[in-house]
Chain A
């Protein structure tokens, strides 16, 4: 297939028709939604499925013998099966539902940490991680008297793999790394990093929050030990998320939260836990959100996700070229492999002022440290403005962004 054919095979207007919010106005202007790395928008099919559940199927799952409870359980477990196929997990029981990526990483960090990390051990995290993939490990390191070691990056925002290879040693107990950086857009070579870690017998926890919405993933091909993501960044409602983990680890790890649903027997002397995945799913989950996540996966399966990824990548390159062309604009994060994210600053203008002026044009971007303060420190900026794309964004929207950035420069000239 030629590049031209691939471009035309993606009918962006048809896709946009699936997302009602994209047809609304903000500040009297058509919405230009470029904050997808924070949260993506929801297609009508997902809204309908979630509403139908709430209107016709809602009940608590797993424990009821009545019709609705069984119906809700079936729908929720069907969503889990969809997750398994979406990431090509070997085993549906190794797909644990959580309320979001942050909760998922906390689950892995605390549970794995209490099971396997001891005094003097080392935890490797990268310099470009989101705070959610730093702080849980920092807390666990402190509790277990272990050391947090940082994989450095270069000025393009790429991990320095030779340094990573040198940092791995017999004290390393886990590597925590983002698949795609939310602040820079860098796609990290996680498959290679996992292979190297495995030579030392070290498991790897991949923060996949920013990768699953942008290209197809395969946890078996990556050989990831843990793979964690949120639903709300991949066109599902907030409150959904997944931890995939290899059974060999999950079976040995203690529960993270405890309570209802995750037990086999309870007495005041001793509790025994349920098998996977229930062991890690204490309490009533976000059932509607989980079913919504299943519907979002159905949606992604209904479109040509490979073509979507290609289209979106072309769009990112177009946006990068447009902004790089404007004098006074500096792009932060220029890795060779990028997805979705375009962080930038304008000489002499604070990102919050950029954000406000763009908002008045109906353009939603994020201005701030993107929960990645170490990244901001590395590039010596207080904050950046960040446009982040999804497959429903268009070149016309990129042009509006570029025009608005010009306007910012005029206002502050």
Chain B
């Protein structure tokens, strides 16, 4: 069960149960939809900008524990960050879950998001963890809709 415990850590289960910023933002400046057609995960990310800063970010939708917890922790991580800083986090997160970044040895800004490093051992679940990040990236860059397939 050790690998499993690494995937379903207490923090992830807690965010799944009580997702943060799980709401719409009225008058959001940017929105995007993310879909994972294979498993039916579907979420919408809302962003309110203040100049170049992410003033507020939230999400709605349905998905598995990994995708929900990842979206929840993403909103916490990027709120108050500049678009450029959010881009860096997206890049680092993506690399972490696909094996391009070792959180123990490589410099990074991931902080609490390192908890998702265990996803690397579960190839079928990488898309679950990264869906919200791809969707945020689409919102920040006005791409509208993404699909992880």
Residue-wise, chain A 360-389 has the 8 Å CB interface mask toward B (1 for contact) of: 100000011100000010000011000000
On whether A412 and B65 interact (CB within 8 A), knowing A356-B7, A356-B122, A356-B124, the answer reads yes
On whether A382 and B125 interact (CB within 8 A), knowing A360-B1, A412-B13, the answer reads no
Residues of B within 8 A of A367 (CB): 39
B22 within 8 A of A: no
Residues of B within 8 A of A356 (CB): 4, 7, 122, 124-125
A399 within 8 A of B: no
Docked Cα-Cα span, A68 to B14, in Å, equals 64
B139 within 8 A of A: no
Docked Cα-Cα span, A411 to B10, in Å, equals 9
Residues of A within 8 A of B117 (CB): none
A352-B8 in contact (CB<8A): no
B52 within 8 A of A: no
Docked Cα-Cα span, A356 to B64, in Å, equals 11
Per a CB cutoff under 8 Å, which of A349, A357, A412 touches B4? A357
B62-A352 in contact (CB<8A): no
B122-A368 in contact (CB<8A): no
B40 within 8 A of A: yes
Docked Cα-Cα span, A382 to B37, in Å, equals 11
Per a CB cutoff under 8 Å, which of A27, A352, A376 touches B128? A352
Residues of A within 8 A of B13 (CB): 411-412
Docked Cα-Cα span, A353 to B4, in Å, equals 11
Residues of A within 8 A of B8 (CB): 353, 357, 411
Residues of A within 8 A of B66 (CB): 352-353
B40-A382 in contact (CB<8A): yes
- Chain B nearest CB from A274 CB (Å) reads 40
Residues of B within 8 A of A376 (CB): 40
- Chain B nearest CB from A376 CB (Å) reads 8
Residues of A within 8 A of B124 (CB): 355-356
A350 within 8 A of B: yes
A369-B40 in contact (CB<8A): yes
Docked Cα-Cα span, A360 to B125, in Å, equals 13
B4-A382 in contact (CB<8A): no
A350-B64 in contact (CB<8A): yes
Q: Chain B: which residue is nearest A367 at the CB level?
A: B39
Q: Chain B: which residue is nearest A355 at the CB level?
A: B124
Residues of B within 8 A of A411 (CB): 8, 13
Residues of B within 8 A of A352 (CB): 39, 41, 64, 66, 125, 128
B104 within 8 A of A: no
Q: Chain A: which residue is nearest B8 at the CB level?
A: A411
Q: Chain B: which residue is nearest A349 at the CB level?
A: B65
B3 within 8 A of A: yes
Residues of B within 8 A of A349 (CB): 65
Q: Chain A: which residue is nearest B42 at the CB level?
A: A382
On whether A368 and B1 interact (CB within 8 A), knowing A411-B8, A411-B13, A412-B13, the answer reads no
A350-B65 in contact (CB<8A): yes
Residues of A within 8 A of B19 (CB): none
Per a CB cutoff under 8 Å, which of A360, A368, A412 touches B39? A368
B39-A383 in contact (CB<8A): yes
Residues of A within 8 A of B42 (CB): 382
B63 within 8 A of A: yes
Within 8 A of B (CB), among A160-190: none
Docked Cα-Cα span, A200 to B65, in Å, equals 51
A-B contact pairs, 20 of them (CB 8 A): A350-B39, A350-B63, A350-B65, A351-B39, A351-B64, A352-B66, A352-B128, A353-B8, A353-B64, A353-B65, A353-B66, A356-B124, A357-B4, A360-B3, A367-B39, A368-B39, A382-B39, A382-B41, A411-B13, A412-B16
A-B contacts besides A353-B64, A382-B39, A411-B13, 9 pairs, CB < 8 Å: A27-B3, A350-B63, A350-B64, A353-B8, A356-B124, A357-B8, A360-B1, A383-B39, A412-B13
Closest 7 CB pairs of A and B: A350-B64, A382-B40, A352-B64, A360-B4, A353-B65, A383-B40, A352-B39
Residues of chain A at the chain B interface (Cβ within 8 Å)? 27, 349-353, 355-357, 360, 367-369, 376, 382-383, 411-412
Residues of chain B at the chain A interface (Cβ within 8 Å)? 1, 3-4, 7-8, 13, 16, 38-42, 62-66, 122, 124-125, 128
